[in-house]
Amino acid sequence: MVYKKGFSTYIMGDCPSVLSYASVASKKESQGPLAKYFDILCEDTTFGEQTWEKAESRMQKDAANKALEKAKLSQKDIDLVLAGDLLNQCTGSTFGLRDFGIPYLGIYGACSTMAESIAVSSLLLEGGVIKKALAVTSSHFCSAERQYRFPLEYGGVRPPSSQWTVTGAGAVILAANNQVSPFVKAVTIGTIEDLGVKDANNMGAAMAPAAAKTLCNFFHDTMTSPSAYDMIITGDLGVIGSKLLNELMEREGYSIINNHADCGVLIYDIEKQDVHSGGSGCGCCASVLSSYILPAIRKGKLKNVLFVATGALLSTTSIQQGEAIPGIAHLVYFSGNDNKELI
């Protein structure tokens, strides 16, 4: 890797490899267009547990174990696990991965967690510090609703700009120089961006500026343009945030309209499933990435993909105190080849 001061993009020398991936999803996701791609699909949203929070932990545990099983690895083979989620104090991850015995780095990136954990894993693999890392995250509609909005029993009306928290989890195992596609060719670490959006029912608008900033940084740092990539897939901007992102990118001179997709738009049938602007939550892009995107790269159906997961860095307290919603977006560039050229 060549270090360049002031650049937030890190271009890999020996590309870390995505060894394995696994996804878990639930009832609503089983009715959506990606249903057939998930590894574990459990229509019982409790996953056999006593509370929604324990169900969320269970999803992380199941996703991580499935990824290990697919890679024919045991927990002892993993040097580091990087995980986080949206529950207060990230307890979805703590309790989900408590029994794994793997050295544990808790991270917090809201819905950008999957990209943050893969990006940090990649940097540590590229630096020769570790050989194998496990990145995990999750979200659960019911645990998110009662923590961020209203108890489910209240039956609150959702505005059209709101998004539906995905009940799902994703786990990705990364390895150094493993010669199996997909490869991580570059990562861009995001900065906190805040354009003053204060509507907690319009997260897409709050996060779009962060996605635009990170994408512009990536194109600048790599001297490439959007057309070089098969797909630029954002985390969970939804319909409204995606439209905004496209406008912001046009303003910066980058047209992504032809190859942009959004995990929050892909995971549900927006018209039929009553999800308003689309899916959201850490589990949204995590489950879409590990069920639909990474396998497509491995099979050669997609070649060069920019995965840009966005997070809204709010809390109920920050909203009550009148703060705006800062956003952040981390980018991981996955490719089907590890040749020395970037594309």
Footprint of its own copies (CB under 8 A): 1, 3, 5-6, 8, 10, 50-51, 53-54, 76, 79-80, 84, 86-91, 94-95, 97-98, 100-110, 116, 120, 123-124, 126-131, 147, 189-192, 194, 313-318, 321, 323, 326, 328
Q: Which is nearer to its own copies, 270 or 332 (CB)?
A: 332
User: Which candidate, 209, 217, 226, places its Cα nearest to that of 261?
Assistant: 226
Q: Which is nearer to its own copies, 179 or 317 (CB)?
A: 317
Structure-token match 């539906």, residue found = 164
Q: Which is nearer to its own copies, 108 or 228 (CB)?
A: 108
Q: Which is nearer to its own copies, 230 or 323 (CB)?
A: 323
* Rounded Cα gap, residues 226 and 222, in angstroms: 11
Residues whose CB is less than 8 angstroms from the CB of residue 146 and which lie 6 or more positions away in sequence, other chains included: 52, 152
* Rounded Cα gap, residues 136 and 81, in angstroms: 8
Q: Least distance in Å: CB of 76 to its own copies? A: 7
Q: Least distance in Å: CB of 22 to its own copies? A: 20
Angle between helix 238-251 and 203-222 (nearest 10): 40
Q: Least distance in Å: CB of 134 to its own copies? A: 13
Q: Which is nearer to its own copies, 191 or 337 (CB)?
A: 191
Q: Least distance in Å: CB of 17 to its own copies? A: 16
* Rounded Cα gap, residues 277 and 241, in angstroms: 8
Q: Which is nearer to its own copies, 35 or 192 (CB)?
A: 192
Q: What are phi and psi of 208, to 5 degrees?
A: -55, -40
* Rounded Cα gap, residues 131 and 121, in angstroms: 10
Structure-token match 């394995």, residue found = 20
Q: Least distance in Å: CB of 88 to its own copies? A: 4
Q: Measured between alpha carbons, how far apart are the two ends of the chain, in Å?
A: 16
Q: Least distance in Å: CB of 188 to its own copies? A: 8
User: Which candidate, 21, 118, 48, places its Cα nearest to that of 333?
Assistant: 118
